[in-house]
Structure 1
Amino acid sequence: MKEFWIQVLAKMEPRVKRAHFVTWFQDTAVLSKKDGLLIIGVPNVYARDWLENKLNGELISAVREVDSAILQISFEVHPNLGLADDKRGVDVKTLVDGGHSPRKVRGKQEVRLAEGVVSKCLNPKYTLQNFVVGQDNRLAHAACMAVSASPGSSYNPLFVYGGVGLGKTHLLQATGNEILRNYSDKVVVYMTSERFTNEIVEAIGKRSSKSFKDRYRNVDCLIIDDIQFLANKEMTQVEFFHTFNELYDNGKQIIISSDKPPKELKGLEQRLTSRFEMGMIVDVQFPDFETRLAILHAKCREHQVLIAPEVLEFVAYNVRNSVRELEGVLLQAIAQSQLEQSTPTIRSVARIVKKLNKIDPLAGYDEKGDDRTVARSPDDVLSIVCKYYKIERDYLVGADRHIGIMRPRQIAMYLIKQELRHSYEEIGRLFSGRNHTTVMHAVDKVLKTLRKDEGLLRDVNALKMEMGM
């Protein structure tokens, strides 16, 4: 059915504006095709409403060109469409041409978009597609999608507010990137309020206020990050007020972010805050546990690393301040595992989290038991290995020769020999009375394999850290 839907989309693409096509058909799929009824899955209610109200007739026509037996279409919302694990949806960006490459300013993280117009570089990693959507940011994401499809007409101005490190900058830059993908000829300027202030001060100093006014009143989309820093800067507020009016009256898109809603901003003129309230106001809240966990999984895929689910759950549960801190803990864990060639564990990650938050106790972790000399006996080693590999002790020391048991058993023998210095005979007795030559073979095999198997090296180093070695 996916091939059928791709054929339909190919028919629709030349009939619809590129921006609308990319926005509203992204990650759609055919759910069912039976008895003349075609059921189309869409990722959100906004896409459903748009397709039903705006493109229903065109879509039926395109569908019947591919299969004349279809008489009716309907839409169902499936939020999982577009997620990495759901392969049903179609990435429509692969069906259309596009691309926009503004000129880079040498030596600076800036681009020159038009004569005299300079913008901070939009980070290409920030997209609306890789922004992890949860209950706490769904409305903000949907508003940005709508703005990127029809800049200047939907939700203008768009005011995004929320605490530090919750994803406002990601949304703003992603919206700018999406507008440029949809409208390659648009001039999109992204800047901080501090940069805006500096340019006004510079223009006043050079007596070139008119050129400044002309410069920023001729852009198609102006994105200002952290507008709260305009507080008590009267000249900057006056100039921004006039720039805002000029852009708004000409149907140009304005996107603003702040740490508070307009009514709570101190030090800003009322005529400014009242204009912020003219459009759409959306907040980005700290994500719930499930969304935090989804963010961690997405970042692991981005960095191409595998981390145990229970470790990610531990991080998601214990980091409760910002998404930025959540990502920071994960990046530190990845860096530490690469430097030490070990696999991240709850113990190693707990130390990272504790450095960032020394006050709150960690859930799911016994801090009193965090002793670097925990493994004092073979029993301690066996317990640590069993917990690490999630196997029963009876299987580890028993006669089972399954490959899933053999490797942990050999590693346990190796650790007891190398770290606790027990004899081969003593180790053999621990493992159901095995011959000392069997233990020698296991230890020797681990030693040789460590030189060429990075996965084994990471596991052994992680176990040593758990042992306090």
Structure 2
Amino acid sequence: MNLKDLWLAIVGKLLEEFERAQIITWFKNTAVLSFEDGVLNVGLPLPFFLNWHITHFSKITLEAAQKVDPKIKKITYQVDIALGEADSRVIDLLKHFPDKKPRKLPNKNEKRSEEGIISKMFNPKYTLENFITSPENRLAHAACQNVAKYPAENYNPLFIYGGVGLGKTHLLQATGNEIMRNDPSNFIVYTTTEGFVNEVVDAIQARNMNHIRNKYRKVTVLIIDDIQFIANKDRTQEEFFHTFNSLYESGKQIIISSDRPPHELALLNERLVSRFQSGMIVDVQMPDYETRLAILQYKCQEAQVFINQEVLEFIAFNVTSSVRALEGILKQSIAKYELEHTAPTVKSVAKMMKQTQKEVKMIGFVVQDPAPRSAVTIDSLIDSV
């Protein structure tokens, strides 16, 4: 068995046991570089992939490899930037492992409202594949994968909660994208709670509640973001309660997000709290340092820009409030680079943080070998670099 066939067999074993989308995403443009004395050397296209494989895939890949060839005792990884679709060492995974999941085509005679058209509601950049998982959000991600594959079968309602900027909207949008991709005949409505409240107010003023009822109670999937804003709005709560019941009893999927768990939602009707607690409740938290670094590396890859690893590590080490803030600092760094044609440095990013972060006295971080050196404040870090 040559190296290419060996890797093909190993990836095939992984696909037998793990989610296809995850394996295809992380094993694309990879290859076996050598196999000597029981050591399988795997090439990866980017440093980001290297970190992710070592952290998340090394154990399961070795187990799969040993099922294919018991002579494999160890797997090592290295970055080979030459790896890509045009490289003869790389396997076309989509060709060898096509998605055999049946796609339900929409009925040509079926009339569908424009609310059901995916482009009207969902941003295509949000997918379950590009959501970077960590122990802090893995359960929420897995629940969304299950709902996308089996709407209204296992987790209904699905209630996702967590702080601002931690990925709830990404998960909601990605799940909607995936549900529609799996079955284009689905009639999905995605809305914010603010949008729902405004629709209820408009319907009351127009004395036409039937319009909003007809819209929401005929959907196959309802996705509503930031349900906490329904608190203290009695008429809206009443309308949502009846909408929820109608959809649930009809076997329709309901996905809800909030900044806190159901039992902590103040000024919310107990009947609604009870309904929310009847399904699957998952939380998303701020990811750990390694995952924050992986997110930054992925975003750099996505934007096709190179930023020094030391700078990315500094951002990941310091920005711990939200993923949104993490990406915000990175976007500012990229913008500064594009406008001024100067590569971001630890010092320039530290100055940027001082201007944008509420908390100024943050621990600085300068990468050194073998250990990081800390600076008490951003000011002292700026002085020390």
Change (3 A) 1:3 1:362: closer
1:325 aligns with 2:325: yes
1:130-145 aligned at under 5 Å gives the runs 130-145=130-145
CA distance in 2, matches of 1:7, 1:138: 23
1:408-427 aligned at under 5 Å gives the runs none
Aligned residue number for residue 364 of structure 2: 363
Q: TM-score, normalised by structure 2?
A: 0.70
Aligned residue number for residue 290 of structure 1: 290
Change (3 A) 1:201 1:93: farther
1:100/1:181 contact within 8 Å kept: no
1:224/1:257 contact within 8 Å kept: yes
Change (3 A) 1:349 1:94: farther
Q: Percent identity?
A: 50
Q: Could you list the runs of 5+ residues in structure 2 that have no partner in the other structure?
A: 28-54, 61-66, 68-76, 85-89, 367-374
CA distance in 2, matches of 1:98, 1:223: 22
Aligned residue number for residue 223 of structure 2: 223
Aligned residue number for residue 75 of structure 1: none
Secondary structure of the structure 1 residue equivalent to 2:365: coil
Secondary structure of the structure 2 residue equivalent to 1:364: strand
CA distance in 2, matches of 1:369, 1:266: 42
Aligned residue number for residue 64 of structure 2: none
1:238 aligns with 2:233: no
Change (3 A) 1:274 1:311: same
1:41-440 aligned at under 5 Å gives the runs 90-91=93-94, 114=113, 121-357=121-357, 358-364=359-365, 367-368=379-380, 370=382
Q: Which has the higher contact order (CA 8 A, sep 6+)?
A: 2
Query: Cα deviation per residue 1:85-139 (whole Å; 9 max; x = unaligned)?
Result: 99889456767786999xxxxxxxxxx9517779862110000000000110000
CA distance in 2, matches of 1:337, 1:348: 10
CA distance in 1, matches of 2:320, 2:11: 42
CA distance in 2, matches of 1:150, 1:95: 16
Query: Cα deviation per residue 1:178-233 (whole Å; 9 max; x = unaligned)?
Result: 00011111011110001111111111222221232122111010000000000111
| Displacement after TM superposition at 1:361 (Å) | 2.8
Aligned residue number for residue 54 of structure 1: none
Aligned residue number for residue 420 of structure 1: none
Secondary structure of the structure 2 residue equivalent to 1:228: helix
CA distance in 2, matches of 1:88, 1:258: 42
Change (3 A) 1:93 1:192: farther
Aligned residue number for residue 35 of structure 2: none
Change (3 A) 1:93 1:236: farther
CA distance in 1, matches of 2:105, 2:348: 43
Secondary structure of the structure 1 residue equivalent to 2:256: strand
CA distance in 1, matches of 2:166, 2:115: 33
Matching residue's letter, 1:151: P
Aligned residue number for residue 73 of structure 1: none
Query: Cα deviation per residue 1:379-421 (whole Å; 9 max; x = unaligned)?
Result: xxxxxxxxxxxxxxxxxxxxxxxxxxxxxxxxxxxxxxxxxxx
CA distance in 1, matches of 2:117, 2:234: 23
Q: Could you list the runs of 5+ residues in structure 1 that have no partner in the other structure?
A: 13-22, 31-42, 49-69, 71-79, 102-111, 375-465
Secondary structure of the structure 1 residue equivalent to 2:306: coil
Change (3 A) 1:96 1:323: same
Matching residue's letter, 1:159: F
CA distance in 2, matches of 1:186, 1:117: 7
CA distance in 1, matches of 2:123, 2:159: 20
Secondary structure of the structure 2 residue equivalent to 1:203: helix
Secondary structure of the structure 1 residue equivalent to 2:257: strand
CA distance in 1, matches of 2:123, 2:105: 13
Query: Cα deviation per residue 1:447-466 (whole Å; 9 max; x = unaligned)?
Result: xxxxxxxxxxxxxxxxxxx8
Query: Cα deviation per residue 1:146-187 (whole Å; 9 max; x = unaligned)?
Result: 000001112000000000000000000000000001111101
Which of 25, 30, 37 is residue 20 of structure 2 equivalent to?
A: 25
Secondary structure of the structure 1 residue equivalent to 2:266: coil
2:311/2:349 contact within 8 Å kept: yes
Change (3 A) 1:24 1:362: closer
Secondary structure of the structure 1 residue equivalent to 2:364: coil
Q: Could you say what the CA RMSD is over the residues aligned between the two structures, in angstroms?
A: 3.8
Rg (Cα) greater in structure: 1
CA distance in 2, matches of 1:320, 1:160: 20
Change (3 A) 1:302 1:232: same
| Displacement after TM superposition at 1:272 (Å) | 0.1
Matching residue's letter, 1:370: I
| Displacement after TM superposition at 1:299 (Å) | 0.4
Change (3 A) 1:190 1:89: farther
CA distance in 2, matches of 1:284, 1:5: 32
Matching residue's letter, 1:363: G
CA distance in 2, matches of 1:302, 1:200: 39
* Greater alpha carbon shift after TM alignment, 349-358 vs 138-147: 349-358
Aligned residue pairs, count: 307
2:115/2:189 contact within 8 Å kept: no
Q: TM-score, normalised by structure 1?
A: 0.58
2:314/2:365 contact within 8 Å kept: yes
| Displacement after TM superposition at 1:343 (Å) | 0.9
Query: Cα deviation per residue 1:59-92 (whole Å; 9 max; x = unaligned)?
Result: xxxxxxxxxxx9xxxxxxxxx9xxx999889456
CA distance in 2, matches of 1:145, 1:121: 19
CA distance in 1, matches of 2:234, 2:297: 45
Change (3 A) 1:271 1:323: same
